[in-house]
């Protein structure tokens, strides 16, 4: 426990007072005993009896006890205030230490997420009120979306960072409860699919195709890119994703573009009927589910 300097000073003063008082007492007593001749010089000088000495001693001791008790009370009071001060200081230091530990732990968790999935590392860097600002500040949302579009199309940055920009741009669109945005169009989605087609990094390719299949953008060029992946990619999971992207183009077209619905139905039937790869046909069968879907495609294709 920390010792207060004031407490030490009072303790030393108390000890000094006690020694001084006792020293004076014994000195006076010794002087009285050693000077009998001086007492004989005057017959009027009274000689103290043992009872008088005892009474004098008791009075002196009582006075000293009172002073010591007073000093002890002062010391106790100082200790009490000192302990409160130290306790408050220790509590503040403990709180600060806990906050530092929590902050360090959060940083470690953010870094771990970045390492495990760099695509979504941007989440850790977003301000706490990001969603609300995107919803409530149109100028802020437009600025952010324009920057993300530029990053997605910028060939000077890494493929992964371009994909992360598209992911955040798509997230912003969903935050705003929109299915279309000027900044989110075929150019940005098609660009990412081209990167996927030309990439030798399987992890990047999978993430790029997964994100692209979720796009609400309707464009026949996307259907052609999905078809290319379905027919040519060696990864079975990516081929299934590509088939899913084709079917998504068809389903979304039914609610928005009548002409595109017919075009997509014809395209799907062409791939299904004319492919020499049984794996392509089997994958499309799985995506369609049953014969009724084939009949619907033929009907919408005008056959």
Report CA 19 to chain centroid distance, whole Å: 63
Report how far residue 291's alpha carbon sits from residue 289's, in angstroms, rounded to the nearest whole number: 7
Domain boundary among 160, 186, 212: 212
Report how far residue 205's alpha carbon sits from residue 159's, in angstroms, rounded to the nearest whole number: 10
Domain that holds residue 195: 121-212
Inter-residue contact 193 to 209 (CB < 8 Å): yes
Q: Mean pLDDT, to the nearest integer, of 227-231?
A: 95
- The packing angle between helices 138-153 and 186-197, to 10°, is 30
Q: Which of 17-21, 45-49, 84-88, 280-284 has the highest mean pLDDT?
A: 280-284
Domain count, the chain: 2
pLDDT digits (tens, 9 = 90+) for 169-225: 999 999 999 989 999 999 999 999 999 999 999 999 999 999 999 999 999 999 999
Q: Is 72 inside a domain boundary?
A: no
Q: Is the pLDDT of residue 29 over 60?
A: no
Q: What is the DSSP letter of 150?
A: H
Q: Is 290 inside a domain boundary?
A: yes
Q: Is 71 inside a domain boundary?
A: no
Q: How buried is residue 266: exposed, middle or buried, by Cβ count under 10 Å (0-12/13-18/19+)?
A: middle
pLDDT digits (tens, 9 = 90+) for 76-111: 676 666 555 555 556 767 677 777 777 777 667 766
Q: Could you tell me the two tokens for 131?
A: 């969603």
Q: Is 296 inside a domain boundary?
A: yes
Give the number of other CB atoms < 10 A from CB of residue 161: 15
Q: Is the pLDDT of residue 266 over 70?
A: yes
Inter-residue contact 269 to 303 (CB < 8 Å): yes
Nearest to 247 by CA among 274, 277, 286, 208: 286
One domain, residues 192 and 254: no
Q: Mean pLDDT, to the nearest integer, of 20-49?
A: 44
Report how far residue 9's alpha carbon sits from residue 63's, in angstroms, rounded to the nearest whole number: 21
Report how far residue 172's alpha carbon sits from residue 163's, in angstroms, rounded to the nearest whole number: 14
246: left (phi over 0), alpha (psi -120 to 50) or beta: alpha
One domain, residues 150 and 205: yes
């Amino acid at each position: 426990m920390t010792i207060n300097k004031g407490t030490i000073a009072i303790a030393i003063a108390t000890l000094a007072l006690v020694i001084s008082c006792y020293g004076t007492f014994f000195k006076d007593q010794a002087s009285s005993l050693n000077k009998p001749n001086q007492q004989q010089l005057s017959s009027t000088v009274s000689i103290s009896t043992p009872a008088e000495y005892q009474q004098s001693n008791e009075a002196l001791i009582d006075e000293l006890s009172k002073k010591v008790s007073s000093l002890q009370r002062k010391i106790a009071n100082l200790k009490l205030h000192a302990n409160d001060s130290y306790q408050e200081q220790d509590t503040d230091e403990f709180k600060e230490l806990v906050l530092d530990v929590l902050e360090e732990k959060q940083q470690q968790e953010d870094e771990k997420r970045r390492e495990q999935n760099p695509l979504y590392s941007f989440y850790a860097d977003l301000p706490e009120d990001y969603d609300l600002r995107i919803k409530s500040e149109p100028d802020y949302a437009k600025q952010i979306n324009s920057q993300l579009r530029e990053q997605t199309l910028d060939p000077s940055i890494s493929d992964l960072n371009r994909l992360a920009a598209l992911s955040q741009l798509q997230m912003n669109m969903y935050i705003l409860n929109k299915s279309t945005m000027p900044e989110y169009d075929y150019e940005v989605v098609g660009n990412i699919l081209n990167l996927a087609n030309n990439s030798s990094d399987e992890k990047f390719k999978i993430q790029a195709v997964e994100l692209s299949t979720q796009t609400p953008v309707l464009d026949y060029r996307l259907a052609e890119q999905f078809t290319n992946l379905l027919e040519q990619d060696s990864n079975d999971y990516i081929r299934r994703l590509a088939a899913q992207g084709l079917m998504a183009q068809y389903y979304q077209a039914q609610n928005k573009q009548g002409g595109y619905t017919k075009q997509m139905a014809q395209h799907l039937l062409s791939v299904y009927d004319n492919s020499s790869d049984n794996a392509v046909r089997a994958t499309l069968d799985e995506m369609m589910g049953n014969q009724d879907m084939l009949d619907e495609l033929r009907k919408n294709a005008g056959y």
